[in-house]
Amino acid sequence: MSSNFPYTLSGMLTIGQILGMVEYAGIDELEKESAEAWQVIGDATRLAFADRNRYIADIDFVEIPEGLLNKNYLTKRAKLIQQGIALSTVSAGEPLWENAVAQADDQSLELPSTTHLSIVDQDGNIVSMTSSIENGFGSRLMSHGFLLNNQLTDFSFISEKNGKPIANRVEPGKRPRSSMSPIIVMKGDQPYLVIGSPGGARIINYVANTLIRHIDWAMPLQTAINSPNLQSRSGIYELEAGTSGRN
């Protein structure tokens, strides 16, 4: 990651964990859009968020475990998921980590106020871009017609818990952690899908769910995008109001 990039992107790594865990937990054995399938996806997401909240922050300030996407690690995490029985509690795992450091879980606010665009032009140029000012009207300050952002809320304002430091704590010169997930999916050596989403910390769920619906369940892409949002990040299962997802 370039040191001059303004954010630490947690989205793609967390999505990678979710997709790996649902695969190893047997998502293809379950009826698509079933309650059983969404329980597996929800628990995988909770486990991935537990790792994210414990370990991911600016790599110029903290070391991130190198084993978060290791197949054996994700298989071990997936074995915690029981089809038909939701996990009562989740916690961060213990991935391979050369220089392990005791850390506490993140306490950031992660407010939504994000824009995403996906573009493919006639010449084959591809853009997947997410932009955020963090919270409605950002910092409430304007400069030359532009609203200034308030990305500080992507940090944890609590620096330690029970004597253990929080990786994503505020520090001078540090990049805040973001849930942005601009993704280009490749099929062989050719681009297949350009995707991303607005939505604060829910971006990770939106993108992961769309990929599962389209790639694992062979749902037409627009249908997958338009389908009800069902998600669990930290224990509470959220169902999109006014949709069939509430049934």
d(Cα 218, Cα 99) in Å, to the nearest integer? 41
CB contact at 8 A, 21 and 211: no
Q: Is 223 a catalytic residue?
A: no
Catalytic residue among 8, 14, 45, 114: 114
CB contact at 8 A, 108 and 92: no
d(Cα 130, Cα 28) in Å, to the nearest integer? 30
| Active site residue ranges | 114
